Amino acid sequence: MAVDKKAYDKAIREGLDFAWAGKWEKAVAAYRKALAQDASDPTVHSHLGLAYFELERFPDALEAYGQASRLSPDEPAPLARIAEIH
């Protein structure tokens, strides 16, 4: 499937806006929309992990951070968040 770059960028911006406003459920929906366009961006997975963390949906947060870590194994932040949850 071809990535709709405009839709992808819009979803990320919306996710960040919702996150800054503390609207975590809406942030989750926006990040998931972005990942439906392109699931290869570890940063979006990390943002999704944070949204899940704030919602206390820890298994979902672990999955999102785990995916971020798999996509970017040299980045320590997702592993630090995983350790924080455990």
Which domains can be identified in the chain, with CATH numbers? 5-85 (1.25.40.10)
CA-based radius of gyration for the chain: 12
Q: Answer yes or no: are the C-beta atoms of 73 and 42 closer than 8 Å.
A: no
- Whole-angstrom distance, CA of residue 81 vs CA of residue 17: 21
Q: Which amino acid is at 72?
A: S
Q: Could you report the per-residue pLDDT of 20-68, keeping only the tens digit for each?
A: 999 999 999 999 999 999 999 999 999 999 999 999 999 999 999 999 9
pLDDT of the residue at 72:
95
- Whole-angstrom distance, CA of residue 6 vs CA of residue 34: 10
Write down the pTM of the prediction.
0.94
Q: Which amino acid is at 10?
A: K
